[in-house]
């Protein structure tokens, strides 16, 4: 019996928009730019190594770097102290402009410092 090898070409537009993963070690209260284009978040893996303190992962849908004291985050996720978890978004969380992320022990427009929160965000670009 002969074995047939089938090669399937990936369309150029699909290959260009493949999934990307952003790993941020020790994410702090200073917002970091992850993407400067539109897309969607497929999953977030977080590891809050801060003992005894809830850490908030904050996400902004904007191109310019947000000011943590002025610009309210578009999404905020509470991460319990000393936990490692994965959140999968079946339909994704869309962002239209760009994506920035930061962590804080303060909720809302406070930027109380936090260190040691490792976050991995998987995104698909449009």
Domain that holds residue 107: 20-125
Residue 68 neighbours by CB under 8 Å, 6+ apart: 29, 30, 31, 58, 102, 104, 109, 111
Is 72 a domain residue? yes
Query: Which domain CATH number covers 87?
Result: 2.60.120
For the chain, the domain total comes to: 1
Residue 7: band (very low, low, confident or very high) from pLDDT cuts 50, 70, 90:
very low
Q: What b-and-e string marks burial along 59-77, b requiring 16 or more CB atoms within 10 Å of the CB?
A: bbbbeeebebeebebbeeb
In this structure, is residue 4 part of a structural domain? no
| Number of neighbouring beta carbons within 10 Å of residue 111 | 20
| Nearest Cα residue to 27 out of 114, 99, 85 | 114
Residue 2 lies inside a defined structural domain of this protein? no
Does residue 62 form part of some domain? yes
Using 50, 70 and 90 to split pLDDT, how confident is the model at 116? low
- 111 found inside a domain: yes
- Asked whether the whole model's pTM tops 0.85, one would answer no
pLDDT for 74: 93
pLDDT tens, position by position, 70-97: 888 999 998 888 888 888 888 888 999 9
pLDDT-based confidence at 115, cuts 50/70/90? low
**For residue 112, what pLDDT band results from cuts at 50, 70 and 90?**
low
Q: Which of 22-26, 101-105, 112-116 has the highest mean pLDDT?
A: 101-105
Whether the per-residue pLDDT at 51 is higher than 50: the answer is yes
Q: Tell me if 91 is assigned to some domain.
A: yes
pLDDT tens column, 9-48: 444 443 444 577 777 777 888 888 988 888 888 888 888 8
In a domain, 93, yes or no: yes
Helix (H/G/I), strand (E/B), else coil: 64? coil
């Amino acid at each position: 019996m002969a074995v047939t090898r089938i090669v399937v070409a990936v369309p150029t537009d699909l290959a260009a928009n493949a999934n990307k993963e952003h790993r941020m070690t020790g994410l702090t209260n200073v917002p970091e730019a992850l993407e400067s284009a539109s897309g969607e978040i497929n999953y977030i893996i977080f590891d809050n190594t801060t003992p005894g303190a809830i850490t908030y992962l904050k996400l902004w849908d904007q191109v310019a770097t947000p000011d943590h004291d002025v610009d309210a985050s578009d999404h905020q996720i509470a991460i319990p102290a000393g936990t490692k978890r994965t959140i999968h978004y079946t339909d994704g969380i869309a962002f239209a402009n760009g994506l920035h992320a930061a962590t804080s022990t303060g909720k809302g427009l406070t930027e109380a410092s936090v260190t040691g929160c490792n976050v991995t965000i998987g995104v698909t670009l449009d």
